[in-house]
Amino acid sequence: MPAPVSFDYAAIRVVPRVEREEFVIAGVILYCSERDWLDARVRLDVEKVRALDPAADVAAIEQHLHGVPRLCSGDPGAGPIARLSRRERFHWLVAPRSTMIQPGPVHSGLCEDPEAALARLFDRVVG
């Protein structure tokens, strides 16, 4: 059994109307520096988004939301940010922004397996 390692994570928020500051949690980003591991899981609950803003551009939101895991994986088609190191990508992804896709606060934890930790967090935070 591997020794526990620390990780940092943040929820991914969809904020359809930035001026109202209401959000739907739509994903989780997890970074483990000791394993040089970065990944994200996302799922948009369209009904919740529409409850906050019936006119929300769901297609645009989904496109940007699905870009987060692509950036985490270093997908060359995800643009220049995807070429940064995993650490730099994580810090870029969790930097505060005033957009429809926003990171929540960064939290820390311990795990033996970052992938399993991401799955547990995703189930708990996103549902």
pLDDT of residue 124: 97
Whether the CB-CB separation of 41 and 115 falls below 8 Å is answered with no
pLDDT of residue 24: 97
Phi, psi of 75 (to 5 degrees): -55, 120
Q: How is residue 67 written in tokens? A: 């870009």
pLDDT of residue 127: 87
The bridge status of strand 24-32 relative to strand 37-42 is: antiparallel
Q: Which of 6, 4, 9, 48 is nearest to 26 (CA)?
A: 48
CA distance linking residue 83 with residue 63, whole number of Å: 20
CA distance linking residue 87 with residue 72, whole number of Å: 10
pLDDT of residue 39: 98
Tens of pLDDT, residue by residue, the chain (127 residues): 778 999 999 999 999 999 999 999 999 999 999 999 999 999 999 999 999 999 999 999 999 999 999 999 999 999 999 999 999 999 999 998 878 999 999 999 999 999 999 999 999 999 8
Tokens 């895991």 belong to 69
Query: For 72, how many CA atoms within 13 A lie in the half-sphere containing its CB?
Result: 24
pTM value > 0.85 = yes
**pLDDT tens digits along 28-60:** 999 999 999 999 999 999 999 999 999 999 999
pLDDT of residue 99: 87
Helices (H), 27-75: 46-52, 58-73
CA distance linking residue 60 with residue 31, whole number of Å: 26
Q: How many C-beta atoms lie closer than 10 Å to residue 54's C-beta? A: 8
